[in-house]
C-alpha cells in the first residue's frame, strides 16, 4: 500500500493549496499555510467499516437526560435550562473579557453536585489557584490540571469518568499524532473531533474556550463551530462594565438568548433585571420612545432615540446605529408618503440606547413615533410603550407574543400601551391607545402650530 502523503491547509480560511506557498491565494494571509500529516486513525478505516452494525432506528434504546443546573440562573437560561450530559460546547469572546473567570465559577458551582475536571492549557495551576482564591472558587471536589496534551486529557477523562470536563483553551491543546503547532487547522480538527467522540461515547459534557479573530469569528477553521452542539459568545458593554453572554448556536436551547453579568471584584455577578438598568436611563424627551424587543425568549425594554434637523447640504445625512439603516429609512419614507412630512429634507440621527442591536419588525411603530416626536419637538406620554408593525400601505399591524411584552412592561410600571387597532390581548394596563394607520399617529402631537 502506498504511503499516504501530507497535504497543506490555511489555518485562517481552510483553503488547501496543492503545495506550500507563503501567502494564501484565498484569504491573502501570510504565513498561514501549514503542513498537515495524515491521521493515524485513518489506517484502520476498512477494519472499522467491516464491523459497523446497522439496526432499525425504532429499536435504539433511549433514556431521560437530566440537565445539570447551577445556581447561576443567567448561565442556565442561556444554555437552555442547564447543561445536557454529553453536550459539546464552546465559549468564546475577546481576550480578557472574562471567559476563564466565568467557566471557573461555573465549574466550582457544579462541583458541589457533579464530578468536574478543569484543564487549564494556558495557565499554570498556581495561576489558576490565585484566580480561584479571588473568586472564592475552591470547592474540594473541583479537580484541576495544567495538562495540554490531548491524549493525556482524554486518558484522564476516561479514567476518572467526570460528568463535566472544562478545557481552557482548545487553541493551546496539542496532539502527539500530528506534527503541527497548537492552534493550527490540523491540530484543531483533530482535537475537536476526538473531544466530540469523547463527549458522545462517554456521556461527558465538555466545555471549551476559544479565541476569536478581529472579525469576531472563532480563530482557526470555521468547521469547529459546526462540530460542537453549542456556541456562546461573551461580549462586553463598557458603559456598565456588563458582560453579555449570547447563544448563537444551541442544539439544546433557543438561539439568541442573552444573559447579563457584571464584572466585580469577586468575579462575574449575574444581573437578572437588566430592564431596570435600561429604564433608569430613559429620558421621555422629544425624539425618545420605549419599545419591547424579543431576544431569544426574553423581552427587553429599549429606548429608541431620534434627532431630526434640517439638512444643510444637498444630500441629507442618515446616521443610524443599533438597528438596520434600511428599516429606519423605510419608515421615514412611509411617513413622508402618507403624512406629507418631508423627512427627505431632514438629517436623521437614530440610535438604540444601551448599545443593543435589534432586528425586530415590532419596533416599526416605535421608530415612526420617535421620528415624529423629534420632528414636532413634542415628547410622547411618559411610561408609554409602542408595539406594532407598519405596512407599506401605511397600516399599523399587530405583533406576535404580545402577552409576553405586556407582562414585562407591567413589571416596570408602564401605564400606557400604543398598539395596532386589531391587536388581541388581555387588558391589564390602565391606558391603551390603538392605531389603524399612520394618519392616526398625528393625534399624539399638536401639529397645528
Describe the chain by its helix, strand, coil percentages, rounded to 5. Answer: 30, 25, 40
pLDDT (mean) for 29-34: 80
What's the rounded Cα separation, in Å, for the pair 244 and 371? 29
Pairing of strands 33-36, 7-10: antiparallel
pLDDT value at position 59?
84
What's the rounded Cα separation, in Å, for the pair 149 and 430? 63
pLDDT value at position 5?
62
- Count of CA atoms in the C-beta half-sphere (13 A) of 335: 25
Q: In the structure grid, which three cell numbers stand for residue 130, read together? A: 490565585
pLDDT value at position 2?
46
Q: Each residue of 368-398: pLDDT tens digit?
A: 999 999 999 999 988 899 999 999 999 999 9
Q: Render the burial of 67-86: b for 16+ CB within 10 Å, e for the rest.
A: bbbbebebbbbbbbebbbbb
pLDDT value at position 360?
84
What's the rounded Cα separation, in Å, for the pair 279 and 117? 41
Q: Each residue of 75-110: pLDDT tens digit?
A: 999 999 999 999 999 998 888 888 999 999 999 999
For the sheet with 116-120, list strands across it.
Answer: 142-145, 116-120, 164-168, 205-210, 88-93, 230-237, 242-250, 258-264, 267-270
- Count of CA atoms in the C-beta half-sphere (13 A) of 243: 24
45: pLDDT confidence band, cut at 50, 70 and 90?
very low
pLDDT value at position 87?
94
For the chain, how big is the Rg over CA atoms in Å?
Answer: 27
| E strands, 50-163, in order | 88-93, 116-120, 142-145
Q: Each residue of 225-254: pLDDT tens digit?
A: 888 999 999 988 655 578 889 999 999 988
- Higher pLDDT: 182 or 116? It is 116
Residue 118 has pLDDT above 50, yes or no: yes
Alpha carbon 305 to chain centroid, angstroms: 24
| E strands, 138-229, in order | 142-145, 164-168, 205-210
pLDDT value at position 50?
54
pLDDT value at position 1?
42
| DSSP state letters, 167-188 | EE-GGG-B-TTS-S-TTSHHHH
Per the prediction, the chain carries an average pLDDT of 85
Residue 334 has pLDDT above 90, yes or no: yes
Alpha carbon 60 to chain centroid, angstroms: 34
Task: With beta carbons less than 8 A apart as the criterion, state whether 63 and 261 touch.
Answer: no
What's the rounded Cα separation, in Å, for the pair 401 and 298? 11
Q: In the structure grid, which three cell numbers stand for residue 12, read together? A: 485562517
- Higher pLDDT: 47 or 71? It is 71
pLDDT (mean) for 195-211: 92
Task: With beta carbons less than 8 A apart as the criterion, state whether 167 and 119 touch.
Answer: yes
CA distances 15 to 23, 33, 190, 362, 376, Å, are: 11, 9, 17, 41, 56
pLDDT value at position 37?
65
Closest-CA residue to 261 (of 220, 232, 303, 229): 232
Amino acid at each position: 500500500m502506498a504511503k499516504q502523503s501530507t497535504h497543506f491547509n490555511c489555518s485562517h480560511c481552510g483553503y488547501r493549496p496543492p503545495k506550500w506557498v507563503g501567502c494564501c491565494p484565498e484569504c491573502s494571509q501570510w504565513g498561514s499555510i501549514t503542513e498537515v500529516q495524515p491521521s493515524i486513525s485513518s489506517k484502520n478505516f476498512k477494519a472499522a467499516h467491516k464491523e459497523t452494525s446497522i439496526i432499525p432506528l425504532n429499536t435504539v434504546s433511549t433514556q431521560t437526560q437530566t440537565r445539570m443546573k447551577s445556581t447561576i440562573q443567567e448561565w442556565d437560561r442561556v444554555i437552555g435550562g442547564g447543561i445536557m450530559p454529553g453536550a459539546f460546547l464552546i465559549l468564546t469572546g475577546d481576550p480578557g473579557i472574562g471567559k476563564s473567570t466565568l467557566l471557573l465559577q461555573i465549574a466550582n458551582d457544579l462541583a458541589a453536585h457533579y464530578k468536574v475536571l478543569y484543564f487549564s492549557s494556558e495557565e499554570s495551576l498556581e495561576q489558576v489557584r490565585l484566580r480561584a482564591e479571588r473568586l472564592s472558587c475552591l470547592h474540594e471536589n473541583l479537580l484541576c490540571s495544567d495538562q495540554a496534551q490531548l491524549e493525556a486529557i482524554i486518558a484522564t477523562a476516561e479514567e476518572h469518568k467526570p460528568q463535566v470536563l472544562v478545557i481552557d483553551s482548545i487553541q493551546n491543546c496539542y496532539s502527539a499524532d500530528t506534527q503541527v503547532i497548537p492552534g493550527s487547522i490540523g491540530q484543531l480538527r483533530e482535537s475537536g473531533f476526538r473531544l466530540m467522540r469523547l463527549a458522545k461515547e462517554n456521556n461527558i459534557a465538555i466545555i471549551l474556550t476559544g479565541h476569536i479573530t478581529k472579525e469576531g469569528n472563532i480563530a482557526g477553521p470555521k468547521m469547529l463551530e459546526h462540530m460542537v452542539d453549542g456556541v456562546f459568545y461573551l461580549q462586553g458593554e463598557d458603559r456598565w462594565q456588563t458582560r453579555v453572554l449570547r447563544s448563537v448556536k444551541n442544539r439544546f436551547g433557543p438561539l439568541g438568548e442573552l444573559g447579563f453579568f457584571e464584572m466585580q471584584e469577586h468575579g462575574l455577578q449575574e444581573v437578572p433585571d437588566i430592564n431596570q438598568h435600561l429604564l433608569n436611563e430613559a429620558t421621555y424627551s422629544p425624539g425618545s420612545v420605549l419599545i419591547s424587543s424579543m431576544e431569544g425568549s426574553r423581552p427587553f425594554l429599549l429606548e429608541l432615540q431620534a434627532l431630526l434637523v434640517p439638512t444643510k447640504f444637498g444630500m441629507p445625512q442618515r446616521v443610524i446605529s443599533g438597528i438596520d439603516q434600511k428599516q429606519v429609512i423605510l419608515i421615514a419614507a412611509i411617513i413622508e408618503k402618507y403624512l406629507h412630512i418631508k423627512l427627505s429634507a431632514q438629517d436623521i440621527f437614530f440610535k438604540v440606547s444601551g448599545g443593543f442591536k435589534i432586528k425586530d419588525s415590532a419596533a416599526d411603530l416605535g421608530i415612526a413615533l420617535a421620528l415624529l416626536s423629534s420632528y414636532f419637538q413634542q415628547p410622547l406620554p411618559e411610561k408609554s410603550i409602542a408595539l406594532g408593525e407598519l405596512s407599506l400601505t401605511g397600516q399599523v399591524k399587530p405583533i406576535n407574543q404580545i402577552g409576553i411584552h405586556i407582562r414585562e412592561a407591567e413589571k416596570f410600571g408602564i401605564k400606557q400601551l400604543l398598539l395596532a387597532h386589531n391587536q388581541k390581548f388581555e387588558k391589564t394596563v390602565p391606558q391603551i391607545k390603538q392605531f389603524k394607520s399612520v394618519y392616526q399617529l398625528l393625534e399624539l402631537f399638536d401639529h397645528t402650530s
